């Protein structure tokens, strides 16, 4: 295992290469070609946080003052108007996600206003089955925030814990006592939020197998339905906050392996089901049930038990996936705001999958969500010979069979239990091109 030059999340947005300049047209076309009545999911990117954590690889604006967010919220509304002008025909939105940054950076009234605007422009569902999720930095939220979010209509939470070891917390400039997380976990349960996820990061400076083992013990004791282990990718040249991290403090390959080993033992013993790409869930969570029934899916936030629908991303660096088209909004606040001030959709890159790419996407999906790859099924579904179209990938997968990550059943490849732990490695086989997206 080496230091990864990217985290695992880029597999959610395959293909990696998006074409500059084609964003607005690609998104407009994809949205107008949608079948009438097809469901639409919304993802809102809120890039603000009070203080930059050193591991951060997001497009973020660090500011002590939430009034700073006002001009951004105005732009978001303009983006919503531009999109809703396309007269999208969709039922009330059942899936809504607010990510960041730290969405709870917004004041309670700002959150309420944003929610109302989304409702006015798109129509948000009030149905019990709706899935309205939000990422929470426990340092930004308290029980009152959660009660407010519940009153708005959110029903799923992901809390960023990252690491509870105080030495590591100091090294990443994120002091966050356990009790902050605990009180939110308890309140979330009381308020009926479901499928609570806790985020942890592996590969942080000063992280040790023992320290991370203790962190996991404490996290498991909070009994979250889901746990995500993200991998820290050290790219200080690309991400300014990472320049505060001393490279010598980073755990080396052997230490990272030992950290993952600790994690694996503990999560196994506690009954968490591994999904690959750092995702774990209790066996009674909807994710694990979806895996068992074979209808697990993925969207831009990761694994999901709900069938994936078209997703529109709003805000800086937000990604939209509509039909076979993927677009990404401007990565900087300046570019994002400039586009909207000129009444243009802020999508600055885009790509529409061709026939072979659609097959590759489905192959990745099959490996990740159903843990198998069946070339003849793909051939039938796509009217293309999968053994030819995916020849390079299949060839790269062959040595992984020998390594015990895959098993051959006739021509069908199945991911082994070991392979689930190295899912990123398996998906790499489909990624012949460098990734400009991550």
Structure token digits, residue 142: 């308290």
Contact 315, 20 (CB under 8 A): no
* Minimum separation from the CB atom of position 253 to other proteins (A): 45
Give the strands of the sheet with 412-415, arranged side by side: 372-373, 412-415, 406-409
E strand or H helix that includes residue 131:
strand 131-136
Contact set with other proteins (CB under 8 A): 107-109, 112, 128, 143-145, 147-148, 150-152, 155, 190-193
User: How far apart (Å, rounded) are the C-alpha atoms in residues 80 and 44?
Assistant: 10
In the complex, minimum distance from the CB of residue 95 to other proteins, in angstroms, rounded to a whole number = 17
Q: Which is nearer to other proteins, 116 or 341 (CB)?
A: 116
Q: Is residue 113 packed enough to be buried (19+ CB in 10 Å), middle (13-18) or exposed (0-12)?
A: middle
Quote the least distance from Cβ 362 to other proteins, whole Å.
36
Helices (H), 19-142: 23-32, 70-84, 108-122
CB closer to other proteins out of 108 and 255: 108
In the bound state with other proteins, the residue whose beta carbon lies nearer, of 127 and 248, is 127
Question: Which of 81/191 has CB closer to other proteins?
Answer: 191
Instruction: Give the span between the Cα atoms of 270 and 264, in whole angstroms.
Output: 10
Output the smallest distance, CB 164 to other proteins, in A: 23
Query: Which residue lies nearer to other proteins by CB, 24 or 112?
Result: 112
Shortest distance, position 128 Cβ to other proteins, whole Å: 6
- Supply 85's token pair: 């002008």
Alpha-carbon span 22 to 343, nearest angstrom = 16
The angle formed by the CA atoms of residues 336, 340 and 343, to the nearest 5 degrees, is 150
Residue 150 C-beta: closest distance to other proteins, Å: 6
Q: Give the three-state DSSP class for 346.
A: coil
C-beta closer to other proteins: residue 57 or 152: 152
Q: How far is the CB of 177 from other proteins (least distance, A)?
A: 15
CB 3: neighbour CB atoms within 10 A? 16
Tell me whether residue 128 or residue 293 sits nearer to other proteins (CB atom): 128
Answer positive or negative: Cα dihedral of 236, 237, 243, 248: positive
Closest CB to other proteins among residues 50, 147: 147
**Taking the complex as a whole, how short is the minimal distance between the CB of residue 219 and other proteins, in angstroms?**
23
- Residues 431, 437: Cα–Cα separation, whole Å: 13
CA atoms within 13 A on the CB side of 311: 26
């Amino acid at each position: 295992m080496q230091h990864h030059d990217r985290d695992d999340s880029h597999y959610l947005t395959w293909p990696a290469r998006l074409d500059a300049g084609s964003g607005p047209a690609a998104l407009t076309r994809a949205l107008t070609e949608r079948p009438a009545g097809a469901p639409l999911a919304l993802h809102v990117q809120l890039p603000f946080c009070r203080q930059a954590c050193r591991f951060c690889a997001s497009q973020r604006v660090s500011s002590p003052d939430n009034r700073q967010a006002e001009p951004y919220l105005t732009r978001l509304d303009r983006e919503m108007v531009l999109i809703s002008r396309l007269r999208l025909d969709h039922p009330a939105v059942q899936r809504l996600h607010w990510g960041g940054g730290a969405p709870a950076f917004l004041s309670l009234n700002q959150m309420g206003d944003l929610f109302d605007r989304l409702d006015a422009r798109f129509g948000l569902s009030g149905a019990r089955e709706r899935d309205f999720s939000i990422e929470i930095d426990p340092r930004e939220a308290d029980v009152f925030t959660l009660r407010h979010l519940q009153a708005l209509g959110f029903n799923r939470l992901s809390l960023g814990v990252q690491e509870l070891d105080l030495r590591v917390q100091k090294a990443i400039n994120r002091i966050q006592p356990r009790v902050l997380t605990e009180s939110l976990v308890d309140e979330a349960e009381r308020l009926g939020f479901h499928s609570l996820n806790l985020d942890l990061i592996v590969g942080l400076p000063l992280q040790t197998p023992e320290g991370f083992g203790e962190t996991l013990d404490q996290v498991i004791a909070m009994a979250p339905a889901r746990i995500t282990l993200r991998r820290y990718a050290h790219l200080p040249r690309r991400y300014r906050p990472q320049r505060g991290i001393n490279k010598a403090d980073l755990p080396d390959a052997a230490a990272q392996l030992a950290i993952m080993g600790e994690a694996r033992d503990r999560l196994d013993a506690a009954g968490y089901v591994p999904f690959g790409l750092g995702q774990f869930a209790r066996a009674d969570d909807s994710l694990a049930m979806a895996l068992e029934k074979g209808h697990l899916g993925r969207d831009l936030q990761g694994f999901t038990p709900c069938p994936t629908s078209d997703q529109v991303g709003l805000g800086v660096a937000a990604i939209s996936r509509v039909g076979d088209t993927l677009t990404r909004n401007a990565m900087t606040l300046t570019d994002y705001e400039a586009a909207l001030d000129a009444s243009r959709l802020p999508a600055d890159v885009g790509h529409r999958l061709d026939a072979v790419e659609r097959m590759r996407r489905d192959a990745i999906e099959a490996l990740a969500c159903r843990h198998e790859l069946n070339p003849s099924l793909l051939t039938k579904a796509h009217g293309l010979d999968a053994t030819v179209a995916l020849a390079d990938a299949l060839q790269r997968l062959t040595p992984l069979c020998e390594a015990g990550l895959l098993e051959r059943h006739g021509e069908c490849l199945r991911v082994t239990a070991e392979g689930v732990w190295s899912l990123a490695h398996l998906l790499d086989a489909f990624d012949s091109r460098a990734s400009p997206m991550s």
